[in-house]
Amino acid sequence: MMSRPALTALAQSLPETVPFVGPEALERRSGRPFRARLGANESGFGPAPSVIAALAHAAGDVWMYGDPENHDLRHALAHHLAVAPENVMVGEGIDGLLGLVARLYLNPGDKVVTSLGAYPTFNFHVAGFGGQLITVPYEADRESLSALAEAARRENARLVYLSNPDNPMGTWWPAAEVESFAASLPDTTLLLLDEAYGETAPAGTLPPLDVTRPNILRFRTFSKAYGLAGLRCGYAIGEAQAIRAFDKVRNHFGVNRQAQVAALAALADQPYLEASLANIAAGRDTIAAIARDNGLTPIPSATNFVTVDCGRDGAFAMAVLQALANRGVFVRKPMAPTLDRCIRISVGRPEEIAIFAEELPGALRVAG
């Protein structure tokens, strides 16, 4: 057998896996498309018409690279957030930015604290750069702020990750609790506060922006409420020196020209955002009602999805998920112990939610 170039020892130690199996892969396996795409927490309502028009107008410019400084978008975001441009870094979605953080801050063996069952892409990045993941369990379907803080202090953690509102449970902490949690962390521990669902959260969830603290980075995205998941554009907010460090390692042409155009147009169209948020809130109520009508328990949600307690164990919830998939309905579920009793349904268009309502009773019967 021919010899081959060797991977690094770290790369060789990693499993050949990805955090998510996409609906496209599931459709290829089954040989048929989903009738209702309700599993990826995308916005089925799509981007604003003004965004689509801006993309169409800029389509002929795709022969040019995007601005490597993301200048116009950074300045527009800074104005929107009432911070300085040097406090904002644009990247290829929150996922891309979290990977850069792991690259910037983790030495092999460094401790990283997160919740057991929290967003798996972050864990993927930690493993990819040799970090040691320390997990704490959820409490009452919320990430435990006290347990995260205690673990961060005990382990002298380099990073601690918190999503607020939370994925996969849709739960949230009020701003005052998050601020107290952040203040309890060691100065040398960097808090990564993932606010991907911040726009869909109730008032009083997001703490005021404080860009003076060097050990807090906050992350937001255009993928959820703005309906631009396919263009991969997110941003980090933080203290100027911490933000400037991204320039050491980021892919400077990573945010493509169309993503910059779309994000600028989306940010400018706040009335459409407000309409989408109203649609999302109405969709959450509808999904919760469908769950209750079928004897299931919806968990109150601050996101663009509803996590539903199926009332039994993880095997039963998985059987419900698979039965829905066989009926053309794509949903996902948490996989960590205790959380795995649930399935998670994204807010989609009304016609997709109607398909879910039609197919859920049969799926529950098949699951037994």
Burial class of residue 297 (count of CB atoms within 10 Å of its CB; 0-12, 13-18, 19+): middle
pLDDT tens-digit map of 171-185: 999 999 999 999 999
Q: How many angstroms separate the first and last alpha carbons of the chain?
A: 51
Structure tokens at 185: 């962390």
Give CA–CA dist 359/324, Å, rounded. 7
What pLDDT does residue 166 have?
A: 98
Omega prior to 165 cis, within 30 of 0: yes
Give CA–CA dist 294/279, Å, rounded. 23
Q: Answer positive or negative: Cα dihedral of 12, 15, 16, 19.
A: negative
Give CA–CA dist 323/129, Å, rounded. 37
Residue numbers of the chain with a pLDDT score lower than 70: none
Give CA–CA dist 158/34, Å, rounded. 41
Q: What contacts 255, CB < 8 A, 6 or more positions away?
A: 66, 70, 73, 90, 91, 92, 232, 233
Give CA–CA dist 213/207, Å, rounded. 13
What pLDDT does residue 16 have?
A: 85
What pLDDT does residue 17 have?
A: 77
Domains of the chain: 20-46+271-367 (3.90.1150.10), 49-268 (3.40.640.10)
CB 138 within 8 Å of CB 338 = yes
Give CA–CA dist 131/127, Å, rounded. 6
pLDDT tens-digit map of 325-344: 999 999 999 999 999 999 99
Q: What angle do CA 45, 46, 51 make, to 5 degrees?
A: 140
Structure tokens at 55: 């993309």
Give CA–CA dist 287/292, Å, rounded. 9
What pLDDT does residue 18 have?
A: 73
Q: 172-178 contacts: CB < 8 A, separation 24 or more? A: 172/142, 172/201, 172/202, 172/205, 172/302, 173/142, 173/143, 173/145, 173/205, 174/204, 174/205, 175/204, 175/205, 175/206, 175/207, 175/208, 176/207, 177/145, 178/145, 178/207
What pLDDT does residue 335 have?
A: 95
The DSSP annotation for 258-301 comes to HHHHHHHHHHH-HHHHHHHHHHHHHHHHHHHHHHHHTT-EEPP-
Give CA–CA dist 334/76, Å, rounded. 36
CB 187 within 8 Å of CB 215 = yes
Helix (H) or strand (E) holding 346: strand 342-346
What pLDDT does residue 21 have?
A: 86
Give CA–CA dist 74/250, Å, rounded. 15
Give CA–CA dist 115/362, Å, rounded. 34
Q: pTM of the full predicted structure?
A: 0.96
